[in-house]
Structures are given as C-alpha cells and as structure tokens.
C-alpha cells in the first residue's frame, strides 16, 4: 500500500461534499412541515455533489486501477445525469413516488460503487476499504427498502433516502481526511 494522498484541494472538496451530504441528510427528516418537493430538492442537491465527487475521484486519483477509476467516473456521470434529469423534469411530469424511486436508484448505484472500490482498491488501507464496503451496504439497504416498499409514506421514504445520503457523506468525509478515494 502506498503512502500517497490525494492533493489537498481534492481532499478538501471531498470533505465539503461529504459535509453537504450529511447536513442535508440530517436536515431533510427534521423538516416534516416543509413541502415534499422541497425535501426532494434538497436530496437532489446532495446527489449532485456526490456525483461530482465520484467523477473527480475517478479522473484525478491516479493510484486507483484504471478499471476502478472508470467505474467511479461512470457512476458519477450516471448519478449526476439522473439527479439533473429528475430536477429538470420534476413536476408536473413525474409523481412524487416516481421521483423518490429514481433517487433511491441513484443511491443504489452509489452504494454499489462504494462496494466495488472498497473491494478492489488494493492501494487503500484495509480499514478504509472496509468502511467503503460497510457504507455501500448501508446505502444499498436504505435504497432497497425504498424500492421494495413503495406504499410507505413519502416522508418515511425521504427519511430512508436521507440515511443513504448520510452514509455516503460519512464515506466522503473520512476518505477526504485520509486522502484516499
């Protein structure tokens, strides 16, 4: 394993992205009186940051194997593209349930990407790899619950999506501090 760390500006950006995701993931369920559309918008915002972070890690973290970098970039582009598409066509074209399902799919993709990077990035410390896998699993579980139980109240679904954002944000903060993807 190498002692190489990502450049400070990239580490700072990842920490900021993680903080935004965690803060928005915490704020969303604490605001039950806010319109569902506002809650969904806050979730989009966090997903946009996560997508950008994945793209930057894939493009700039040269110690990762090329395959993992490509997976990170593709996941980031998909996350970013879906989040922008959902935001651009939010209403009246889609119902709230469809929007929340799309958000769950975006988080599912992010969770899978975390597991793949954690499983195959041999340049990372074992504890970071383990953390990526755990965060990926928790994100996937949150997403799957939302997808499997669509009849659950919208605020409950939003809360579960918020948990996925919090897991992803914690992942970004810790890896930003350690200087690894």
Q: What is the pLDDT of residues 165-177, one digit of tens each?
A: 788 888 888 878 8
| pLDDT digits 0-9 by tens, 79-134 | 888 778 777 766 555 666 777 777 788 788 888 988 998 888 888 788 888 988 99
C-alpha to C-alpha distance for 141 and 91, rounded to whole angstroms: 28
Where in the sequence is the domain holding 51, given as residue range(s)? 8-178
**Is the per-residue pLDDT at 153 higher than 80?**
no
Q: Higher-confidence residue: 41 or 35? A: 41
In a domain, 125, yes or no: yes
Query: What's the total number of domains in the chain?
Result: 1
In a domain, 141, yes or no: yes
C-alpha to C-alpha distance for 68 and 72, rounded to whole angstroms: 6
In a domain, 2, yes or no: no
In a domain, 1, yes or no: no
- Is the distance from CB of 103 to CB of 161 less than 8 angstroms? yes
């Amino acid at each position: 394993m190498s002692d190489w760390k990502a450049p400070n500006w990239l580490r700072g950006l990842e920490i900021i992205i993680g903080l935004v995701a965690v803060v928005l993931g915490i704020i969303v369920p604490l605001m039950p009186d806010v319109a569902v559309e506002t809650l969904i918008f806050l979730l989009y915002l966090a997903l946009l940051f996560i997508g950008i972070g994945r793209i930057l890690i894939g493009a700039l973290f040269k110690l990762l194997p090329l395959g993992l970098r490509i997976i990170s970039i593709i996941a980031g582009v998909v996350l970013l593209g879906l989040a922008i598409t959902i935001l651009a066509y939010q209403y009246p074209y889609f119902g709230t349930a469809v929007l929340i399902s799309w958000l769950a799919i975006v988080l599912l993709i992010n969770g899978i990407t975390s597991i793949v990077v954690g499983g195959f990035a041999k340049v990372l410390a074992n504890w970071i790899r383990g953390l990526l896998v755990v965060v990926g699993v928790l994100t996937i579980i949150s997403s799957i619950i939302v997808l499997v139980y669509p009849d659950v109240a919208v605020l409950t679904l939003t809360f579960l999506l918020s948990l996925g954002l919090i897991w992803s944000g914690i992942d970004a903060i810790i890896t930003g501090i350690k200087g690894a993807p």
